[in-house]
């Protein structure tokens, strides 16, 4: 049986500096990823083909990242019943507010789990996708728990250092 993987799509390679945060989280957690530049507007047929193919090949969750009139996550969600996480990218003069509204305002029945704008959102998209896979993967759940614990200890250590 193939290992479940996360498919990360971005509308343009100019999104990569932000999207990299999602890739880094998933690689650190040893979750297989596929990364594609596919646009809802510029490459609609390739997007359709990739999503339906990835769905059949064992994709467990999709992360779709786009800026400006960001329709990518919605298009991906229209093609699959796997969970779709949308990352609005701050790419244009509206600093990502345009992409946030385009991504989050989905019609009923076609959900996109929308995270924050930009790099912080991409990072959380990585964790959210890993948490979805961890529902059926105890070892991944353990890795996520260990990382949470390490993060807590790091913050407490910084606080302790401030008190000295």
Interacting residue ranges for ligand RP5, rule: CB under 6 A: 11-12, 14-15, 39, 66-68, 89, 91
Calculate the alpha carbon distances from 98 to 65, 73, 133 in Å.
13, 14, 30
CB of 93 to ligand RP5, least distance (A): 11
State which residue, 9 or 60, has the beta carbon closest to ligand RP5.
9
CB of 133 to ligand RP5, least distance (A): 25
Residue 69 per-residue DSSP state: S
State which residue, 36 or 143, has the beta carbon closest to ligand RP5.
36
10 close to 23: Cβ distance less than 8 angstroms: no
> What residues contact 80, with CB distance under 8 A and at least 6 apart?
51, 52, 55, 59, 62
- Residue 104 CA to residue 86 CA, distance in Å, equals 8
CB of 149 to ligand RP5, least distance (A): 35
State which residue, 35 or 141, has the beta carbon closest to ligand RP5.
35
- Residue 48 CA to residue 87 CA, distance in Å, equals 19
State which residue, 4 or 86, has the beta carbon closest to ligand RP5.
86
CB of 23 to ligand RP5, least distance (A): 16
């Amino acid at each position: 049986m193939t290992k479940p993987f996360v498919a990360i799509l971005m509308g343009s390679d100019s999104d990569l500096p932000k999207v990299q945060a999602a890739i880094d989280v998933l690689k650190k957690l040893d979750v297989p990823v596929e990364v594609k530049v596919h646009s809802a507007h510029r490459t609609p047929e390739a997007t359709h083909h990739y999503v339906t193919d990835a769905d059949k090949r064992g994709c467990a969750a999709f992360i779709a990242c786009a800026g400006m009139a960001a329709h990518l996550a919605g298009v991906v969600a229209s093609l699959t019943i796997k969970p779709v996480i949308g990352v609005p990218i701050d790419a244009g003069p509206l600093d990502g507010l345009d992409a946030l509204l385009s991504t989050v305002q989905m019609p009923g029945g076609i959900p996109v789990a929308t995270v924050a704008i930009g790099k912080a959102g991409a990072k959380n998209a990585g964790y959210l996708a890993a948490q979805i896979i961890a529902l059926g993967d105890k070892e991944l759940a353990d890795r996520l728990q260990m990382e949470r614990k390490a993060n807590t200890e790091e913050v407490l250590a910084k606080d302790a250092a401030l008190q000295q």
